[in-house]
Structure 1
Amino acid sequence: MHPSDAPSTPRRVAWAAVTAIIATVLFVLATSDVVYEITSPPQFSWHVVLRKAYSIVAFALVGFTADKALGMTARPLLRGAVLIAVYSGAIEIAQKFSGSHEGPVWNAIDVACGAAGGWLGVAASRFRKPR
């Protein structure tokens, strides 16, 4: 059994608060033009790959903390991937309203990065070292 699987434990409530804070901060950063410009230096031709890579890491962090907050489920990896893909989709919608010019293909890639990050975060949350 996952340590935070008991319903409504103080630990799960704390993880929920941590998840909400991290998800909010990352949402604000992801919708900031200033952050986009800083992380997209024109002199670095691979900036898109770099941004996608650290978005997966950021999404993994949200997936990790969300898994700790939500507890047991029959399919934790699927739940994490879907949950964070939806979160990523919300970011894409907010970016569109704030003037993003990315097309639907890039939006889909970003949501896929969210799903991958959510999956990885839950996988990391569930990883156990043998004793």
Structure 2
Amino acid sequence: IDFKGVNMVINYDLPSSAVEYIHRIGRTGRAGHRGRAVTFFTEDDKPLLRSIANVIQRAGCPVPDYIQHLPRLQSKQKKKFIKKPLTRESICTTPQCFLKKGKRKMKTAKENTEGKKKGKNVNKSETASQS
């Protein structure tokens, strides 16, 4: 896929290899235009950083010293990361107030369903009209 006019790529997950990194950031700065790439990483990603930092450095971009001094990854470790990338917990982007509201709705729906199974009518409007 060729996206035209992309001037920034943001990697929310660190690519598992330098080749994958190049592929991802290759979407920006095409045809002589400038582009930027921002990559987020965690402590768990550190073993993969060194090879990606080498690619960045060879392209003439600055790399922080602490990344340059990270230990090199052995080929067995690289293969392991490529075969089975790190698993991460999901990040919930739904505001808490909506989550709580959704839980209340689910609880009410469940209570209504259980009431109907038992032969009871839990719906407030129906119980009010019956009295």
Q: Do Structure 1 and Structure 2 share a fold, with TM-score over 0.5? A: no
Q: Name which one, 1 or 2, has greater alpha-carbon Rg.
A: 2
Higher relative contact order (CA 8 A, sep 6+): 1
TM-score range, shorter chain: under 0.3
TM-score, normalised with respect to structure 1: 0.25
TM-score, normalised with respect to structure 2: 0.25
Q: Which structure carries more helix by proportion?
A: 1
